[in-house]
Structure 1
Amino acid sequence: MSDFQLAPQHVAFVSWVREKAIEELADLSGDESGRVNRPLVQAMGKLGLLRALFGGEPGSPPRDAAALKLCLLREALAQVNGEAETALALQGLGSYPILQSGTPEIVERWIPRVISGEAIAAFALSEPTAGSDAAALELWAEPDRTGWRLFGEKIWISNAPDADVYTVFARTTRGARAKGVTAFVVPGDAVGLDGSSLDMLSPHPIGRLTFDGVAVDRGDVLGEPDKGFAVAMRTLDLFRPSVGAFAVGMAQAALDATTDHVRTRVVHGAPLARQQAVAHRIADMATQLEAARLLVYAAASAYDNGGDPGGITRRAAMAKLYATEAAQSIIDSAVQLHGAKALQRGHLLEHLYRDVRSLRIYEGASEIQRSIIAREIIGRGATT
């Protein structure tokens, strides 16, 4: 990992994360079931890796997550253990709206259990007809005497159907699009909540949820009624740069493996690296990687430093867009330079090749990131 702009404590933190992942988590990884790997999550809780998702020190109350630390954590894990990285990120994505917008009672009920690895969290936004257009949600919250009852369906929900707690976004005002969405906390064992797992290209805990009159109390609202879309967007502003960090970590692993390969693979009596076409491709891969890393950490620093929300959103979108597209290109080049053996089941690059594809889709596809960037620049006149 490049140490540009990294303070000594950040370098030490990255080393600690990688050491723990290699020494403590490797034997718990490799689950191909496509379901939540609870032993792995619990181990990360015991090691303190999940605690690092949130600000503050062990023993103190958690507070707003720091984007820089989140990115460092995700990049470091991605280089050595992609399954652990994904499990950790999903814990953060599912629980951050609770920390950000929940009442003290809701925070106390769920966040300590998420940090320990006891409770699995999930972020339930996408629906069959509301993916890229998240404001088109149709999951309906019907008011009743004590709160609401939820009716409808969610799909492409990570950690579903195994999560213990869901952050669920539902429509509370018809016809209002983003202005009529409310965020709720829903326990995984709620009456009327059902789900099923989906079989994906890369084994990943993801599924479908159905809500048949699931009851939620007024105290289960995150933030205010009809203002849940802002809860979702604040969460994505934090996590989109860290998706870029995940991509950077995977791309770094691919580049490291490919550099070693071209140095030692002999073709026509000389190392593969002696061929100019190969050397130039390595140079392009490294340049893409460094540019992606710079965008990711610039976006993370902007988030942590506050300032114009539009600028934070724009930088987050740029980081997610460029880093995920670059990682796809870098890993594809790595496969090409390795040849057929990179496609053999179980090879590092075969694994990375399958895993990297989803990054350009989830938490806003690349096309959506381009629309966000254009809107912020053209609509608001932002240039820096």
Structure 2
Amino acid sequence: MQFALSEEHTLIRDSARRVAREVIAPRAAEVDRTAQYPEDYFQALKAADLLGITLPREVGGADAGTLAMGLAIEEVAKYDCSAGLMIMLGALATHTIKFFGTPDQVERFVGPVARGEKKAAFCLTEPDAGSDVAGLQARAERDGDEWVITAQKQYISGGPVADQVIVFAKTEPGNPRSTAAFVVDTKTPGFEVTSVDRKMGVRGLPTGVLTFDRVRVQHDQMVGGEPLGMRGPLATLNSLRPCVGARGVGLAEGATEYALNYARERRAFGGPLTDLQAIQFKLANMAIEIEAARLLVYQGCWLVEQGKYGPNDGHMLSVAKAFATEMANRVASEAIQILGGQGYMEDHPLERHYRDARQLMIVEGTSEIQRTIIAKALIDRNLSYA
């Protein structure tokens, strides 16, 4: 495996770092406090060509690969985990089309998202179907050249501000193999954002309940022109799991840097906190965890670029996602402990990092789902230490 970053990787990382420091860092606390969508984040990321990193160059994307996106996400998540999700959301909402759509669908539906002309969202989760993806109740009924979609989707990241969504529904009730993906313009009659969630963290990107009340779409809005089964949503989720881990790595790096700077300045027992072995060991353990997680995430990104995100290969992506997101929670907690009472105050960003980190172990497959995937790989010998 090549550990050196390419020139393109370095340029994308540096662009993201610049946006993070100049635009995101000064606004992160306010965005969290008000829970107002930060359009300035979106426009800055668009201007830096960071919204379509994995999307085809022919339609306006950078086609720079998953590692490049992971690097960009890592940089912005140091200051605001919402910004990392904002970068990732364009891919989440279009990878199914990129993988399985027709050339015309890629041009029509991926291009505007890649160019930052439209915001998009991925509509999979339902009130009774979260981790159990096969249990979707959403249905799509054929009516001539149209499909009529009836569904309620919840916890949809970016849904309340989306211009288009990709929604998964079954064409045959009870049959997971009939699961199809449809691209829906949010101005279509019958589509409604019925509520916006009040969240513990990651407040810069709203989530909500989206209702599809007999929404009519043309047949050419069905991705690939036929039901994709479970491979549609799962290929997309697998391909982006390392990037959820990248959000965790960035968050942990930001928390560690803040705690270290505080420990250098704060004096106790006759010297700075950094003179105390208890603090030194905390910082060292935080660094060890970050470095291990970063390697797993970068390897996961590389595996996706090699096309290894299918059912027989996805376990290493689950390893990266589970470890990096759980690591972020541990590191955020330790960073608060270093600051003591100050860490608990809203005057410092660590309590926000702590709240944001908790989301990461739930989205794009919970930690428990990741362990189920890893255990199955061990039992089936797709992952072996023999």
Same fold by TM (over 0.5)?
A: yes
Question: Please, which runs of 5 or more residues in structure 1 have no aligned partner?
Answer: none
When normalised by structure 1's length, the TM-score is: 0.91
Structure 2 vs 1, CA of residues 252 and 7 (structure 1 numbering), >3 Å: closer, same or farther? same
Question: In structure 2, what is the Cα distance between the partners aligned to 1:90 and 1:8?
Answer: 25
Question: In structure 2, what is the Cα distance between the partners aligned to 1:239 and 1:308?
Answer: 9
Q: Secondary structure at the match of 1:186?
A: strand
* Residue of structure 2 in register with 1:123 after alignment: 122
Structure 2 vs 1, CA of residues 382 and 86 (structure 1 numbering), >3 Å: closer, same or farther? closer
When normalised by structure 2's length, the TM-score is: 0.91
Q: Matches of residues 163-242 of structure 1 in structure 2 within 5 Å? A: 163-177=162-176, 179-195=177-193, 196-202=195-201, 203=203, 204-242=205-243
* Residue of structure 1 in register with 2:307 after alignment: 306
Structure 2 vs 1, CA of residues 4 and 347 (structure 1 numbering), >3 Å: closer, same or farther? farther
* Residue of structure 2 in register with 1:262 after alignment: 263
Cα shift at 1:109: 2.2
Question: Kindly, what percent of the aligned residue pairs are identical?
Answer: 35
Question: In structure 1, what is the Cα distance between the partners aligned to 2:10 and 2:378?
Answer: 34
Residue identity matched to 1:43: A
Residue identity matched to 2:184: V
* Residue of structure 2 in register with 1:162 after alignment: 161
- Alpha-carbon RMSD across the aligned residues, in angstroms, is 2.3
Cα contact 2:303–2:309 (8 A) shared by 1: no
Structure 2 vs 1, CA of residues 112 and 310 (structure 1 numbering), >3 Å: closer, same or farther? closer
Q: Secondary structure at the match of 1:52?
A: coil
Q: Secondary structure at the match of 2:235?
A: helix
Residue identity matched to 1:129: D
Cα shift at 1:55: 4.8
* Residue of structure 2 in register with 1:248 after alignment: 249
Cα contact 2:54–2:61 (8 A) shared by 1: no
1:315 aligns with 2:321: no
Question: In structure 1, what is the Cα distance between the partners aligned to 2:163 and 2:268?
Answer: 53
Cα shift at 1:82: 3.2
Residue identity matched to 2:191: L
Cα contact 1:238–1:303 (8 A) shared by 2: yes
Residue identity matched to 1:192: G
Structure 2 vs 1, CA of residues 157 and 253 (structure 1 numbering), >3 Å: closer, same or farther? same
Cα shift at 1:35: 5.1
Cα contact 2:126–2:136 (8 A) shared by 1: yes
Question: In structure 1, what is the Cα distance between the partners aligned to 2:306 and 2:54?
Answer: 17
Q: Matches of residues 12-51 of structure 1 in structure 2 within 5 Å? A: 12-25=11-24, 30-32=30-32, 33-34=34-35, 36-51=37-52
Question: In structure 1, what is the Cα distance between the partners aligned to 2:185 and 2:264?
Answer: 53
Q: Secondary structure at the match of 2:160?
A: coil
Question: In structure 2, what is the Cα distance between the partners aligned to 1:366 and 1:61?
Answer: 34
Question: In structure 1, what is the Cα distance between the partners aligned to 2:36 and 2:93?
Answer: 16
Residue identity matched to 2:294: R
Deviations 1:100-135 (A, max 9, x none): 322233222233322332311000000000001111
* Residue of structure 2 in register with 1:286 after alignment: 287
Q: How many residues align?
A: 379
Question: Please, which runs of 5 or more residues in structure 2 have no aligned partner?
Answer: none
Cα contact 2:15–2:48 (8 A) shared by 1: no
Question: In structure 1, what is the Cα distance between the partners aligned to 2:265 and 2:26?
Answer: 29
Residue identity matched to 1:293: R
Cα shift at 1:248: 0.1
